[in-house]
Amino acid sequence: MPVVATLLSVAVVVLSSMLKDMEDLSTVLLTIGVVALVASAAKLVAPSKVLIYTPTGEKIRRSSLNHKAELAERVEHALGSGNTELVRALAVKESAPLMTVLYSTPSESLIAGQTLEYIPYEYQPKSKVYIFTK
């Protein structure tokens, strides 16, 4: 889509230069064309903010779950076995000293996760990164 927008912007700029009889319209079209060209070129160059799991073409979603400290071993075991349902079931709504960050596709063809522990002012890794693919 950014390629099409870039081409249309270039076409508007060229059209504005061809309208010599209508100077006001030419100026407006030139301004619109240049602004659209800059915006579409930026989208072409800027990296996408959406992660895609290439083998399936699915978007990867991120979720973070809070866990109580006394559940650390159960969360670690569940995450290590790829049981994201149990990891989610052990989560609590309120703030807690453990946080599990999960990256997964809707079909769960990719699951990646890590448990972090809150040490004053920041979270630090408590477990290794677990990655599961189907």
pLDDT (tens digit per residue) in 50-89: 888 989 999 999 999 999 999 999 999 999 998 989 999 9
pTM: 0.62
Are both 34 and 77 inside the same structural domain? no
Supply the range of the domain harboring residue 37. 2-45
Closest CA to 18 of 30, 5, 8: 30
Q: Which residues contact 110 (CB under 8 A, 6 or more apart)?
A: 53, 56, 58, 60, 103, 104, 131, 132, 133, 134
Q: What is the pLDDT of residues 10-49, one digit of tens each?
A: 777 777 767 766 777 767 777 777 777 777 777 777 766 7
Are both 62 and 100 inside the same structural domain? yes
Q: Return the pLDDT at 77.
A: 93
